[in-house]
Amino acid sequence: MANNFNPEEMMRAFTSMKMPGLPDFQAFADAQKRNLEALTTANKLAMEGAQAVGRRNMEIIQQVMSEMTQAMQSLSVTESSPNAKAAQQAELMRTAYERAVANMQEIAELIQKSNGEAVSVLNRRFAEALEEVKDLVKS
């Protein structure tokens, strides 16, 4: 049996093969760092938004309690006919309802703004990450 093994031919075959490139581990580590930074920023924005909502909610509660106390005092001090008191109470209820709706709308807008900012950070990073993956695949 003849030995047809030629080392030079073998080397030429190996060098002509296209081997997939090894990933750039530093680029991968940098991308993961940017992912974590984006996540941290989004969490921070969400937490700040939740704190702002909580603070505003407490302010609203304090305001409502103060107004309710004043309304009760004004109703108890005023000596007027039952019809006048009923009209005054109806007006207080209407005002309280309108204020409650406005307050709920304000809180909802605060939540939406906070969530929007956090999601925006994540969406931006996701788009960047997709571009990074495309660049890595091209190399």
Give 22-68 pLDDT, tens digit per residue. 566 787 788 889 999 999 999 999 999 999 999 999 999 999 999 88
Q: Is residue 100 part of a domain?
A: yes
Mean pLDDT, the chain, integer: 85
**What local confidence, expressed as pLDDT, does residue 14 receive?**
60
Amino acid 118: pLDDT: 94
pLDDT tier, 20 (very low <50, low <70, confident <90, very high otherwise) = low
In a domain, 18, yes or no: no
How many domains, in total, are found in the chain?
1
Tokens 């108890």 label which residue?
Answer: 76
**Is 119 inside any structural domain?**
yes
Specify the residue for token string 């703004």: 113
pLDDT higher at 87 or 22: 87
Is 12 a domain residue? Answer: no
Q: Which domain holds residue 44?
A: 24-138
In a domain, 38, yes or no: yes
Q: Tell me the average pLDDT across 132-137.
A: 80
What's the CA gap between 137 and 139, in Å, rounded? 6
Closest CA to 139 of 18, 21, 31: 21
Q: Assess contact for 38 and 117: CB atoms under 8 A.
A: no
Does residue 16 lie in a domain region?
no
Q: Is the pLDDT of residue 3 over 80?
A: no
Q: In the numeric block, which tokens belong to residue 24?
A: 């750039």
| Arithmetic mean of pLDDT, 77-96 | 84
For residue 17, is it within any domain?
Answer: no
60 in any annotated domain:
yes
pTM to 2 decimals?
0.66
